[in-house]
Amino acid sequence: MPTITLIPGDGIGPEVTRAVVRVLEATGFTPAWETFSAGAGAVDEHGTTLPPALLESIARNKVALKGPVTTPVGKGFTSVNVGLRKALDLYANLRPVANLPSVPSRFQDVDLLIVRENTEDLYAGLEHTVVPGVVESLKIITEKASTRIAEFAFEQARRRGRKRVTAVHKANIMKLSDGLFLDCARTVAARYPDIAFDDRIVDAACMHLVMHPERMDVLLLPNLYGDIVSDLCAGLVGGLGVVPAANLGEGGVGVFEAVHGTAPDIAGRDIANPTALLLSAVLMLEHLREDARAAAITSALKQVLASGHVTPDLGGTATTTSFADAICRTLIS
């Protein structure tokens, strides 16, 4: 069994993490967990949101499961998520977005895989004042990073039996930057004749997504559009509370996390919904080639959701603990 870095996080983080670890272990997946605090929880003890021992642990183990964390606001601390991405070069953000039973949503049959480039674009943070009243913010797009993320998208598509990758861009206006991103995607696409490829301009892609999301498959986006479109897509299936995510780097490094925050309004009450973190753990199992366990958990989760034994955010009366118990029972039945 592997050793996995565990970051329970703040607020509801420890509650949902406990539930997810229990479900994982009910499948017989019993790794050694190296547990660390991060974010606000780490500041008192370590004076930083990202203790060096945590980064060393992830670099060593390659895989981490992370609950939501609070980044102290206005005190000069780096966001944990941004810090992790930079320190570990987690260049790919992967978000499957699909309907789940008992989760109210405006659309059915949504089954998207969103691949977002995580390291460059306008997020390079290169901004300056040219003259008072005029600022420049630099959009960095490189052939290397664009090719790397396109290869990642096609590899994921192939591994997951997907049919089509759509590159999303604004190359009609940003001919050089988005043009380079699109050219790299086209070049990589030519090496994957088994997977269809097309492209859409970001505004048209958004309209298509909110009209016919079921017609789209894998989306490949540069950082900024990826940030916006991935939340839009979460909204298509019921919101951030039910969507998993992974941040992946070279050499098999991966940090698997829920997309929602620490939910301070419900923390400590055993009513948080662990679905998003559980689906992130499913991504982690797939990453570790534990496909049978991943499929078993997905199936048990869907059965319990379909039974109506759901947490209050989905209109039910289940607790975090009883929801996890029901999944564990389904797994061993």
Residue numbers at the binding site for ligand NAI (CB under 6 A): 12, 16, 68-71, 81, 241, 257, 260-266, 272-273, 276, 313
Under 8 Å between Cβ of 92 and 119: no
Q: How far is the CB of 240 from ligand NAI (least distance, A)?
A: 6
Q: Which is nearer to ligand NAI, 235 or 261 (CB)?
A: 261
Q: How far apart are CA 43 and CA 250, in angstroms?
A: 29
**How remote is the C-alpha of 285 from its chain's centroid?**
14
Residue number with the smallest Cβ distance to ligand NAI: 261
Structure tokens at 111: 């089954």
SS3 assignment, position 107: coil
Nearer to ligand NAI, 59 or 82 (CB): 82
Is the Cβ–Cβ distance between 71 and 39 less than 8 Å? yes
Q: State the minimum distance, in angstroms, from the CB of residue 276 to ligand NAI.
A: 6
Q: How far is Cα 257 from Cα 154, in angstroms, rounded to an integer? A: 22
Q: Which residues are catalytic?
A: 123, 170, 203, 227, 231
Cβ distance to ligand NAI smaller for residue 172 or 317 = 317
- Which CB atom, from 13 or from 249, has the smaller least distance to ligand NAI? 13
Measured between alpha carbons, how far is 121 from 12 in angstroms, rounded to an integer? 32
Q: How far apart are CA 125 and CA 246, in angstroms?
A: 22
Q: How far is the CB of 270 from ligand NAI (least distance, A)?
A: 11
> Following DSSP, what letter does each residue of 37-68 receive, concatenated?
--THHHHHHHSSSS-HHHHHHHHHH-EEEE--
CB 317 to ligand NAI: min, Å? 13
